[in-house]
């Protein structure tokens, strides 16, 4: 009984309670293990930073409950797109991070393309029901040197914000 309770508490500590994805706190635990793995294996690691465009607009126009449903939908969409070996985190309010172990730029690009295709499909099937369309600002970066892993994460974040700035005038809410 105590073991089950301890497991449940650990689960609550490492997962976002809305989306069920790992949280930022757990990311910092995982990254330490990734650094050690990269040092041993000489593999690469990639990050994909994903920001849901227009969440504030969705919340303002459709309500926070719909905004929460959209966040859950996004988390599921990203998780279903990721490989089994990838780890998906809810990194911030409307930001998700995917850690791709042993994935170079080509594999990372493939995942991004799959995510965009699945997003288009989601929009065709669900936009009218939810009253909004999904779109993401995405940035990615690949690291071959474990000593620069946080710099690589920062680069993915920077690229995501560049993408967001470029796409700033896109309207997501269907009125």
Among all residues, which ones are annotated catalytic?
Answer: 94
Cβ(132)–Cβ(172) below 8 Å: yes
Cβ neighbours, 10 Å, residue 115:
21
How many whole angstroms separate alpha carbon 93 and alpha carbon 155? 19
3-state secondary structure at position 33: helix
Q: Shortest CA distance to 96 belongs to which of 119, 121, 123?
A: 119
């Amino acid at each position: 009984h105590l073991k089950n309770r301890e497991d449940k508490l650990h689960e609550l500590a490492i997962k976002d309670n809305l989306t069920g994805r790992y949280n930022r706190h757990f990311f910092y635990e995982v990254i330490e293990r990734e650094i050690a793995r990269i040092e041993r294996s000489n593999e690469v690691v990639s990050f994909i930073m994903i920001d849901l465009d227009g969440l504030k607009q969705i919340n303002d126009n459709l309500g926070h409950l719909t905004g929460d449903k959209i966040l859950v939908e996004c988390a599921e969409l990203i998780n279903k797109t990721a490989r089994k070996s990838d780890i998906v985190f809810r990194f911030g309010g409307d930001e998700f991070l995917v850690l791709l172990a042993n994935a170079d730029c080509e594999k990372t690009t493939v995942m991004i393309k799959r995510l965009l295709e699945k997003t288009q499909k989601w929009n065709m099937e669900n936009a009218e029901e939810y009253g909004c369309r999904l779109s993401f600002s995405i940035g990615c970066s690949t690291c071959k040197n474990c000593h620069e892993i946080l710099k690589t994460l920062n680069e993915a974040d920077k690229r995501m914000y560049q993408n967001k700035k470029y796409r700033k005038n896109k309207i997501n809410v269907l009125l």
